[in-house]
Each structure stands twice: as C-alpha cells, then as structure tokens.
Amino acid sequence: MEELRKHIEEISPLTNEEFEYIKTFFKEKKVKKHQYLLQDGDKVTSEYWIIKGIFRAFYIDKDGKEHILQFALENWWLSDYNAFFNQSESNINIICMEDALILSLSLSAREQLASELHKMEHFFRMKLTSGYSAQQRRIISLLSNNPKKRYEEFASLYPSIMQKIPKKYIAEYLGVSRETLSRLYSNNGQ
C-alpha cells in the first residue's frame, strides 16, 4: 500500500490518518498472465490501479478484429470508464499480459472518498484529466500522423512499454502491420 500512498502524494500530500482511511477503500487482487480483468458484457463495478504488471485493453469489432485501446503498466489506472461511470456493461476487454498485482476501487468508494476528502477529489480529477488528454493526443495522432510519426511519438512517450510488450501488439496499437513496425524499429536503431 505504500506504493499507493506515493502515487497519491505525487498530487496530494496526505497525513498518516488520511492514508489509513483511504486504504480501507481499496481491495488488493492478484491477476495471472492471460487472465481477463474485464470482458465484453461484464458489469463494470471497479476501476483498477496497477501495482505490478501489464494489461492490454481492446475492443473486438463485428468482424472479430481486435483494436487495442490502451496498454497499462505499473502506476496506471485502468477500467472501461464509460461502463464504470455509468455502472453498465463493458464493451471492451482487459487482459493481463504478465502476472500482476492490482488495487480495485468501486465507484461508490471513489465517490465517498472524493466527497469526504477534497485532496482525493483533486487527485481523481487530475488523473481523469491526464487520461483524457492522453486519449485525445492518441486520437489526433491516429488521424493525422503517418506510421513513422506515430511510432516515434509512442517510443518517445512510452519507452518502457517498447521493451515489455510484444511487437505484434505495438503494431496493432499503432495501426500498422508487423512488417512496417519492424522497418520503423530497425530504422530508429532499436
């Protein structure tokens, strides 16, 4: 739980008493490699903070093609946020890519923390803003950049992901073929 405290305190300093209270709202969970955290059709009741591990969030279209929405590593938050905030069924899948340890937080717990502790309301707002900005950046990049530029942006923003995730998933995330990714990868001296 000390990792969680450090994470929150990057934005909002806490007293010992505040953190003791905050941690009672989180549930620790181990997730095995290849295990689904969420599947299309599941009711989404929680969001997750990753202590250790890597996850892939993806959507499967009507033709059965997988579209990667996000990778998530240590210190990242993850859920199907549309379903989480609306307390509805997921239309995405989230799968564990290596054994992981996570903390889950229900929407009611999040709302209670935010209403009782202004520091947590501020923390959650800053995290949501950051995630929304990253998503918008990705959409604009997909719409306006060529594969080389998308690859360079991704490698610059997420160098640790480049080393931990199989290239076939990175290619899919960037919207390029595996062969194109190999060319881009070798042209950048990787």
At 6-36, the pLDDT tens digits run 999 999 999 999 999 999 999 999 999 999 9
- Bridge partners (DSSP) of residue 5 are none
- Cβ(46)–Cβ(79) below 8 Å: yes
Rounded to two decimals, what is the model's pTM? 0.88
Please enumerate in sequence order all residues whose Cβ is within 8 A of that of 11, keeping only pairs 6 or more positions apart, or say none: 122, 123, 126, 127
For 148-190, what is each residue's pLDDT tens digit? 898 888 888 888 888 888 888 998 898 888 888 888 777 665 5
- Please state the φ and ψ torsions of residue 60, each to the nearest 5 degrees: -110, 120
Q: What is the pLDDT of residues 57-116, one digit of tens each?
A: 999 999 999 999 999 999 999 999 999 999 999 999 999 999 999 999 999 999 999 999
CA distances from 104 to 17, 36, 70, 79, 174 (A): 21, 14, 18, 10, 29
C-alpha to C-alpha distance for 74 and 71, rounded to whole angstroms: 10
CA torsion sign, 181 to 184 to 187 to 189?
Answer: negative
